[in-house]
């Protein structure tokens, strides 16, 4: 997905200028060993996703097109609100340039992502007509549910459904923001 830097702090804003040749301080999407996808919003403004399904770096680029060969990048690291996420993205981009791959170690698993996925799955199951117990069995397994735990598990499912409802009501762009 393409997200503007104003909406996603991990999207790194860059200013691209053409480079004569590939070099240590240039990036050439045509020569990277990972896939790159570019969405050109208008001349001189592109959104770029570099990586695979699970590990990626997002750029919002102005200036020269990243589709045309090697470019020099200047990085916009202004503002403290987004600085940490921008530095993480910059580190990932640097590792890709240096190593020719996106190292797994730079993409730590998000501890709440599993809860969000369960919330969305629970909401989908509810929309399909599943009861809270049916949802609990699908998410946590029948072996986790017995007479002593059924009320606790039912409340857990109810909280997941409330989370999904709140996040979706807030809008899709805020679902993954704490």
Q: Residue 88 pLDDT > 60, yes or no?
A: yes
Q: How far from 1 is each of 47, 53, 59, 94, CA to CA, in Å?
A: 9, 11, 11, 21
Q: Shortest CA distance to 95 belongs to which of 36, 27, 49?
A: 27
Q: What is the domain extent for residue 145?
A: 113-174
Q: How many angstroms separate the CA atoms of 69 and 126, rounded? A: 49
**Residues with Cβ within 8 Å of residue 16, at least 6 apart in sequence:** 61, 62, 63, 64, 65, 66, 71, 72, 73
Task: With beta carbons less than 8 A apart as the criterion, state whether 140 and 119 touch.
Answer: no
Whether residues 87 and 127 share a domain: the answer is: no
Which pLDDT belongs to residue 71?
A: 97
Same domain, 18 and 94: yes
Mark which of 106, 130, 155 sits at the end of a domain. 106
What is the spatial distance between Cα 73 and Cα 82, in angstroms, rounded to a whole number? 19
pLDDT band at 174; cut points 50, 70, 90? low
43 belongs to a structural domain: yes
pLDDT of residue 12: 95
For residues 149 and 126, membership in a common domain is answered with: yes
Same domain, 87 and 132: no
Specify whether 158 is located in the same domain as 130. Answer: yes
- Does 67 reside within a domain? yes
Q: Are residues 102 and 121 in the same domain?
A: no
Do 93 and 124 share a domain, yes or no? no
Pairing assessment for the beta strands 11-18 and 71-75 based on DSSP bridges = antiparallel
Residue 2 lies in a domain: no
Q: What is the dihedral of CA 98, 62, 34, 114, to 10 degrees?
A: 100
* 178 confidence band (pLDDT: 50, 70, 90): very low
Residues 33, 63 share a domain: yes
What total of structural domains would you count in the chain? 2
Q: Is the pLDDT of residue 123 over 90?
A: yes
Half-sphere exposure of 128 (CA within 13 A, CB side): 9
80 plus 124 within the same structural domain: no
Taking 90 as the threshold, does the pLDDT of residue 6 lie above it?
Answer: no
Residues 15-74 pLDDT 10s = 999 999 999 999 999 999 899 999 998 778 999 999 976 789 999 999 999 998 999 999
For residue 5, being part of any structural domain is answered with no
Residues 91 and 120 in one domain: no
Q: 98 and 43 in one domain?
A: yes
Question: 60, 103 in Cβ contact below 8 A?
Answer: no
- The overall longest dimension of the chain from CA atoms, in Å, is 71
């Amino acid at each position: 997905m393409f997200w503007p830097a104003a909406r996603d702090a991990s999207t790194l804003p860059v200013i691209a200028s053409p480079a004569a040749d590939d070099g240590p301080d240039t990036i050439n999407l045509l020569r990277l060993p990972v896939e790159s996808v570019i969405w050109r919003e208008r001349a001189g403004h592109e959104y770029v996703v570099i990586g695979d399904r699970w590990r990626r770096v997002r750029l919002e680029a102005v200036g020269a097109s990243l589709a045309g060969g090697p470019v020099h990048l200047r990085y916009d690291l202004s503002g403290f609100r987004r600085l940490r996420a921008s530095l993480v993205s910059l580190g990932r981009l640097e590792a890709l340039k240096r190593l020719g791959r996106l190292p797994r170690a730079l993409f730590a698993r998000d501890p709440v992502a599993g809860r969000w996925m369960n919330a969305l799955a629970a909401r989908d199951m509810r929309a399909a007509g599943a009861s809270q117990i049916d949802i609990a069995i699908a998410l946590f397994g029948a072996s986790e549910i017995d007479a002593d735990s059924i009320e606790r598990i039912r409340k857990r499912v109810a909280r997941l459904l409330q989370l999904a409802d709140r996040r979706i009501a807030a809008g899709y762009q805020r679902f993954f923001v704490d």
